[in-house]
């Protein structure tokens, strides 16, 4: 089961495609019941699920307002208990503001906050997740992974010799290791690594940041299907997807790394 935001969904979709390629005639079934999406390979009794929880912790509605509960994960986590493999990701949504912000207030220990330092909030929320894993996951039955931050390519200043202002029009990876795209999410990765180091449970870090930072050419750009012809004709910052990844594509490599971690401890 993948748990997290749309980058986790990206990897979930990739794994489904890879499994279908290995068993193309196997009957399958998709069950969608937001926030849980489950793909079943019926003949093999295998299920691959995605649970949408961008912050991992719960969001409660209090007097009509969305409250991001930094110290509560019980509602979301109920769906994760029986998984054989859990792969988590979180980080991007914690820095969103304005219309992209998924909450109205933050809540902790019975108190409500209009805002706080976002990395402090991320650390507190991720610690709540870590405590849940330590208390509820049996490492002899369930393998747990956490994906590092997936970089974006919205600023061509992050790589040499750009052909446009963002990932639009880029057709080749960054040569060598000269991209700084992964640095924008460095604070989140520092929080993730610090929380994982403090855990009792053996959680493996799926470190995809540096390798993904090189792939400025691997995003849907204007071809994701979400943009109008007019937007595609004028690929400005608001009409280009330089966050998610094409399939087939980079998330397939993430899953190859996950496979390696699963079978080679």
Q: Is 32 a catalytic residue?
A: no
pLDDT at 109 over 60: yes
Q: Note the pLDDT tens digit of each residue in 53-93.
A: 999 999 999 999 999 999 999 999 999 999 999 999 999 99
Instruction: Catalytic residue, from 5, 6, 228, 239: name it.
Output: 6
Instruction: Catalytic residue, from 84, 241, 243, 252: name it.
Output: 241
The DSSP code sequence of 245-262 is --SSSHHHHHHHHHHHHH
Q: Is 241 a catalytic residue?
A: yes
Q: Is 6 a catalytic residue?
A: yes
Percent of all residues in the chain with a pLDDT value above 70, rounded to a whole number: 95
- Cβ pair 166, 231 in contact under 8 A: no
pTM score: 0.94
Instruction: Catalytic residue, from 92, 153, 219, 244: name it.
Output: 244
Q: Note the pLDDT tens digit of each residue in 217-257.
A: 999 998 877 777 777 777 765 678 999 999 999 999 999 99
Helix (H, G, I), strand (E, B) or coil at 135: helix
CA atoms of 158 and 214, how far apart (whole Å): 10
Q: Which of the given ranges, 125-134, 171-180, 184-193, has the highest pLDDT on average?
A: 125-134
pLDDT of residue 142: 98
CA atoms of 231 and 206, how far apart (whole Å): 35
């Amino acid at each position: 089961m993948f748990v997290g935001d749309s980058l986790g969904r990206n990897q979930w979709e990739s794994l489904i495609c890879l499994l279908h390629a290995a068993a193309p005639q196997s009957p399958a079934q998709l069950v969608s019941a937001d926030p849980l999406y489950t793909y079943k390979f019926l003949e093999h009794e295998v299920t691959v699920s995605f649970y949408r929880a961008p912050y991992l912790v719960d969001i409660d509605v209090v007097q009509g307002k969305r409250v991001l509960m930094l110290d509560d994960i019980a509602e979301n986590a109920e769906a994760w208990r029986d998984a054989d493999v859990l792969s988590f990701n979180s980080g991007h949504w914690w820095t969103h503001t304005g219309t992209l912000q998924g909450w109205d207030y933050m809540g902790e220990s019975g108190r409500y906050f209009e805002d706080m330092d976002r990395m402090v909030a991320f650390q507190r929320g991720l610690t709540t997740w870590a405590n849940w894993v330590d208390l509820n996951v049996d490492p002899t039955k369930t393998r747990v992974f956490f994906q590092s931050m997936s970089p974006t390519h919205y600023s061509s200043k992050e790589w040499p010799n750009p052909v446009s202002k963002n990932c639009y029009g880029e057709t080749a990876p960054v040569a060598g290791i000269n991209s700084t795209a992964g640095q924008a999410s460095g604070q989140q990765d520092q929080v993730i690594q610090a929380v994982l180091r403090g855990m009792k449970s053996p959680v493996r870090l799926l470190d995809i940041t540096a390798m993904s930072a090189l792939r400025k050419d691997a995003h849907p750009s204007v071809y994701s299907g979400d943009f109008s012809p007019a937007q595609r004709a004028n690929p400005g910052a608001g009409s280009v997807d330089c966050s998610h990844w094409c399939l087939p594509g980079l998330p397939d490599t993430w899953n190859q790394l996950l496979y390696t971690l699963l079978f080679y401890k």
